[in-house]
Amino acid sequence: MKDIDLLILMHNSIKKLIKLYNTLKKYNHDNFKSPYSTMDFGYIQGEGIVNRICSHCKLHIDIGPIANIYINKINILLEKQ
């Protein structure tokens, strides 16, 4: 199996999430302090071994949907990215 640079894969994933975030801004609700769903990027967690290619990593994010959009709809939008 070819070595895969997980940081490049994570970069591509983050680019898709940013596109999703911009799409979520179209679903707004004026009765909230933040009129659209929020997305906060936390951190990337990989293996803790120095000078080794990680076999897996995770991106921690928080998504705060507003009243007129549900997490199922967000998942559908993400799959379209």
| The pLDDT value given to residue 45 | 83
44 DSSP β-pair partners: 59
Q: How confident is the model at residue 1 (pLDDT cuts 50, 70, 90)?
A: very low
pLDDT band at 4 (very low <50, low <70, confident <90, very high): low
Output the DSSP codes for 26-63: TSB-TTSSSSB-EEEEEEEEE---TTS--S-EEEEEEE
Is the model's pLDDT at 15 over the cut of 90?
Answer: yes
Distance, CA of 35 to CA of 51 (rounded, Å): 44
CATH architecture of the domain 6-80 equals 2-Layer Sandwich (3.30)
Q: What is the pTM of this model?
A: 0.73
pLDDT tens sequence across 21-71: 888 888 877 777 778 888 899 888 877 666 666 667 888 989 888 877 878
Q: Can you state the angle between helices 6-24 and 71-80, rounded to 10 degrees?
A: 120
